[in-house]
Amino acid sequence: MNLAKNTMSWHCLILHLPRCRIFRVSTLYLTATPIGNLEDITLRALRVLREVDVIACEDTRHTGQLLQHFEIRKRLIACHAHNEEASSKGILSLLDAGQNVAYCSDAGTPGVSDPGARLVEYVRSNSDHEIVPIPGASASVALVSVAGNIGRSFAFEGFLSPKKGRRTRRLEELVSRREAFIIYESPFRVLRTLKEIAEIDSSLRCVIGRELTKQFEEVESGSITEIAGMFEARDTIKGEFAILIAPGVCDDQSEEDTDA
DSSP state of 108: B
Q: Is 113 exposed, middle or buried (0-12, 13-18, 19+ CB in 10 A)?
A: middle
Q: Residue 63 is which amino acid?
A: T
C-alpha span between 134 and 211 (Å, rounded): 23
Q: Residue 130 is which amino acid?
A: E
Model confidence band, residue 250 (pLDDT cutoffs 50, 70, 90) = low
Q: What is the pLDDT of residue 141?
A: 95
Output helix, strand, coil percentages for the chain, rounded to the nearest 5.
40, 20, 40
Q: Residue 143 is which amino acid?
A: L
Strands (E), 105-240: 130-134, 154-159, 180-185, 205-210, 218-223
Q: What is the pLDDT of residue 8?
A: 45
Mean pLDDT confidence for 165-177:
96
CB atoms within 10 A of CB 186: 13
Q: What is the pLDDT of residue 166?
A: 96
Model confidence band, residue 251 (pLDDT cutoffs 50, 70, 90) = low
21-30, 106-115, 178-187, 224-233, range with the lowest pLDDT: 21-30
**Contact yes or no for 89/42 (Cβ under 8 A):** no
C-alpha span between 107 and 185 (Å, rounded): 15
pLDDT of 23 above 70: no
pLDDT of 176 above 60: yes
Q: Residue 14 is which amino acid?
A: I
Mean pLDDT confidence for 43-67:
97
Query: Which residues is 104 bridged to in the sheet?
Result: 57
Q: What is the pLDDT of residue 106?
A: 94
Mean pLDDT confidence for 213-230:
97
Residue 250: closest CA among 200, 203, 198, 197: 203
Please tell me the pTM assigned to this model: 0.83
- Percent of the chain at pLDDT > 70 equals 87
Half-sphere exposure of 178 (CA within 13 A, CB side): 3
- Which domains are delineated in the chain? 22-134 (3.40.1010.10), 139-246 (3.30.950.10)
| pLDDT single digits (tens) 71-80 | 999 999 999 9
Give the DSSP H or E segment for 75: strand 75-78
pLDDT of 22 above 50: no
Q: What is the pLDDT of residue 15?
A: 44
Q: What is the pLDDT of residue 248?
A: 83
pLDDT of 48 above 80: yes
Q: Count how many residues are written for the chain.
A: 260
Does residue 65 or residue 259 have the better pLDDT? 65
